[in-house]
Amino acid sequence: MFDPSSGVSYREWIVPGRVQSSPSDRDWSRRCPYPVFTARGTRGPRSLVDIATNVIANNIGDVTDEHLEALPTRLLWHVWRFLEARGVCLHAWRLFSKLLLCEEEDDKPLGLYRFRQHICRPNEELRQYLEPLTSLSADFVTHLVISGGCNFTTNELMCLAEMRNLGVLELIQPADELRTTYPEVGDLLIRGWSGMDNPFPLLRILRIWGDETTTQDSLQWVAGFPSLVLYDVTGARTDWTDPDVRAIQAGWELDTSTPGSDDSLLRYLMLFAPLNDDHNTLRELSRTIDGDLVSLCADSQCVVKFVNDRQAPPLLDYLTDRAKIGLPSWDTDAASRDARACHGAPFEAWAFWLYSFIGQISQDKDLESNGIGVDSQAVVGPFVLPSKPMACLFLGHSGRGGISSHPSYVSRGLFATKRFTFTRPAAGRKTAAASQKITAVASPPVVTRENAAPVSTFRSNKRKRIKDVLEALSR
């Protein structure tokens, strides 16, 4: 509109408000994590821009991209920083991530590229949480964790396979000491997923932890997920009596290391490039790399830059000669501070960096085969981020204190469960034509341990070395 008396041009909207009758998670994606407050200046009234910014923030759940597209970039950044200070909801993150990440001249904070939220006590149906996390155009990738306190039915879990942009899925049975509800997860669920049309088109990582959940028969069904590269399982020992043979039959590679002694992020990276060093050196390197990656992921203010494909700075220089690089450009204490509360814990670091690494070694072929283009790489210092922004949601509690990285299952004995990690690097390189659904045969060929040994030797020989991994991670 134009006011001829003052010469001012402006645009006006009328946005209908929403009334929430009772507290629930139905609008969880549109609610800021912290309560609304009114800021007051130290001297005099606030400016019109500050007043308008406060109104937008208080009603961000009702704002659409149409409302924001008319605002200058400078004001968009002003609103975003205001939201960051009070907590960003998923709806706001989706709006501003799409608008501000495409701006070339501004430095982008990691908070625009990675969203994280933890809901302690989910009280709605699963679809209420999945709908805001779904993007048919895959503008972002979703990382979902379902744990204790979630009372979802098997039918509700079936719809997970239809999520086009689901990249990482974790189903974590809570520790026995919590004695809380948890969905029924087993072979029937996974078999049902595999029977669906094009299940989990972009799922690279699947983690299922629990006692008496899945069995070794699940290996043949998860092999039908076209992009799946890593299958991490904790299950009953009696249900996994011959995992190495079953893995070979289904096209998987079983990691022979002992996860209990080294459960670091570096260990998962080394599944694709083993390090020929002694155990003490590997443990020290794990602490260094894990500390850097977790602290970086916890710092939402570190600067993200975009570079052309394969032009990222070399990660190997940073890891081998830290003195030349100097101090990190991110807050190295952010992770320890955030870990004091379950809502601030950077639970997504493991999935965030592993998803990024898998995409680099496979050159994001799964994205390309699904018609999703990747024009540039996002980097923070020497680290390459996932090719798409990532939204991470943790539902429930996995252990005492909220989020536990090692929930214990000891109700049937200290050694009733065992951990297995399976990899399938070739899956990330499949094209759309090759990623067809795999059906289980009635009588699979018997593979003895004697016959499996040469395959294992060939498997270890074809793995890359750590230098190749680090160079791939920095390209």
Q: pLDDT tens-digit profile of 391-434? A: 999 999 998 878 888 898 988 888 899 999 999 976 655 433 34
138-152, 336-350, 449-463: least confidently modelled range: 449-463
- Radius of gyration (Cα) for the chain, nearest Å? 24
Reference 320, options 373, 382, 272; nearest CA is 382
Whether residue 201 is predicted with pLDDT greater than 80 in this model: the reply is yes
What's the pLDDT at 177? 87
Question: Is residue 359 within 8 Å of residue 387, measured between CB atoms?
Answer: yes
Whether residue 467 is predicted with pLDDT greater than 80 in this model: the reply is no
Q: pLDDT tens-digit profile of 98-107? A: 999 988 777 8
Higher pLDDT, 197 or 322: 197
Burial string for 444-459 (b: 16+ CB within 10 Å, else e) reads eeebeeeebeeeeeee
Tokens (6 digits) for 449: 């341990």
Whether residue 36 is predicted with pLDDT greater than 90 in this model: the reply is no
Exposed, middle or buried by CB within 10 Å (0-12, 13-18, 19+), for 34? Answer: exposed
What mean pLDDT is predicted for residues 350-375? 89
pLDDT category of residue 361 using cuts at 50, 70 and 90? confident
Which stretch, 34-48, 120-134, 248-262, 364-378, has highest mean pLDDT?
Answer: 120-134
Whether residue 441 is predicted with pLDDT greater than 50 in this model: the reply is no
What's the pLDDT at 313? 55
Whether residue 190 is predicted with pLDDT greater than 80 in this model: the reply is yes
What's the pLDDT at 147? 95
Q: pLDDT tens-digit profile of 209-221? A: 999 999 999 999 9
Higher pLDDT, 277 or 408: 408
Average pLDDT taken over every residue of the chain = 79
What's the pLDDT at 444? 40
Whether residue 326 is predicted with pLDDT greater than 80 in this model: the reply is no
What's the pLDDT at 206? 98
What's the pLDDT at 299? 82
pLDDT category of residue 33 using cuts at 50, 70 and 90? confident
For the chain, report the end-to-end CA distance as a whole number of angstroms.
49
